[in-house]
Chain A
């Protein structure tokens, strides 16, 4: 298939359709409204379900309804809309209901603004819902990767019976670039052993998030965390760019992960050994890989369009193997290649000073 010029939001929507998404429920919000528009234009004519819900609460609860029947379903929203879905996401994790949630981040807190930002890392990865749970979070940096990760999101949601969040931002949602829609590459597992598909000729089932008998909730949580361990083993993904001999490694996710590459290329041209480490899965976070990178590097510079959220996971993964610096802007303040480059020059001097002084 040839490459086509496509907008990030529309690419996600088309990829969801290709992945077999049968139901879309959503409420419009900038900067992701094109996802709903696209679904509205295409799903009904394919005989699939499209509903403009009355609120984000309704959207995510409709996703739960569809998910309990083993049907592939999706909702999408942005920052303050995703905030409203947190209770339901916690319930999905507890009841093991699959579903895909697309979050195209904008500036916050509060209603914030509609500019690109990455200030919902905590919201996505740590969650605002109650209890011990994990949402799988995938973070695309290009339109092509948005397509590929949307495919993957639908597959692993069913595979692990867990909500999967695709975490993009206003840059990726609004930008266009050439990308290729390959075929959905996965074989999804059979859902008939658990899906609510009518109890004719079989014992009744229920899918609930309330577990009152003594010990039941702890037992369930233990099992969920064994599942999260398995997810970490099988799904953890990251991208390394020019890091083999890098003294300074930039860590960044999503759009910033690609912008950082432009700065790293310029730094290399100017004799500085700089590379980029980009987590593709934010949960599971590639902590072992990052720790190995940190052991070889002299310093890590974490870059985010927020005030330092992934930074906590970066520090935890590095675990003292090398110093970690942070540079970020938020709520519409963009990290541009030049701004990142200036910061690289600044922190690289610290590395050179140390080297000269014989400090390792």
Chain B
């Protein structure tokens, strides 16, 4: 399937960094090479956070990404900050629940999904990060959705019972994210 680089960005608490970690774990499940590099710093809930993820069939030399194949922007600031980080011909998933900013490029594809509304309608508590991840995986085909679900199930075994109880919600969200893209493609 080749190489794929993606930047996942949001405000602290949305799970942008965790979404990246899930993606990398899933890549490991499929025997692929992968790197995860976070913007670390004096971040706090509400501050801007992002991570850069590479997935490849061969060794990844640079964890640092100049231009990404895709950007997942979970809020408006992320859209503004990373719109120009998408390679020409790449795409950007925008959480249109939290961003009403005009898009400015005609050489990339924009996929606007009202993640917060859809997630809350689906289940509570809901997870926009994994829903975006489901959409990303369905869109790119870089990994199997099943691999992410496997990772989630494995992780649930290692966390507290309170967190593990949220596994069904997570699974629902990631599946629904994929379904959004699948349905869109069928309409086209």
Contacts and interface: CB of A to CB of B under 8 A. Distances in A.
Given A262-B61, A336-B66, A3 B28 contact: yes
Contacts of B37: 171, 174-176
Interface string B35-74: 1111011100000000000000000111111110000000
B149 interface: no
B24 interface: yes
B34 interface: yes
A174 B40 contact: yes
Given A3-B28, A176-B21, A337 B42 contact: no
Contact of A258 (B27, B61, B67): B61
Contacts of A5: 21, 24-25, 28, 34, 36
A318 to B, nearest CB: 24
Contacts of A26: none
Contacts of A336: 62, 64-66
Interface string A196-238: 0000000000000000000000000000000000000000000
A93 B158 CA distance: 43
B135 to A, nearest CB: 22
A337 B36 contact: no
A255 B62 CA distance: 8
A122 to B, nearest CB: 24
Interface residues on B, range: 20 to 34
A337 B64 contact: yes
A30 B42 CA distance: 10
B33 interface: yes
A174 B43 CA distance: 14
A178 interface: yes
B28 A178 contact: yes
Given A170-B40, A337-B66, A178 B34 contact: yes
A177 B63 contact: yes
Which of B21, B40, B63 has the most chain A CB within a 10 Å cutoff? B63
Contacts of A174: 37-38, 40
Contact of B64 (A4, A265, A334): A334
Contact of A114 (B25, B41, B63): B41
Interface of A: 3-5, 30-31, 114-115, 170-171, 174-178, 255, 258-259, 261-262, 265, 334-339
Interface of B: 21, 24-25, 27-28, 33-38, 40-42, 60-67
Nearest 6 A/B pairs, CB to CB:
A261-B61, A262-B62, A338-B66, A262-B61, A176-B36, A259-B62
Given A259-B63, A336-B65, A336-B66, 18 more contacts: A5-B25, A114-B40, A114-B41, A170-B40, A171-B64, A174-B40, A175-B36, A176-B21, A176-B35, A176-B36, A177-B35, A258-B61, A262-B61, A262-B62, A265-B61, A335-B64, A337-B61, A337-B66
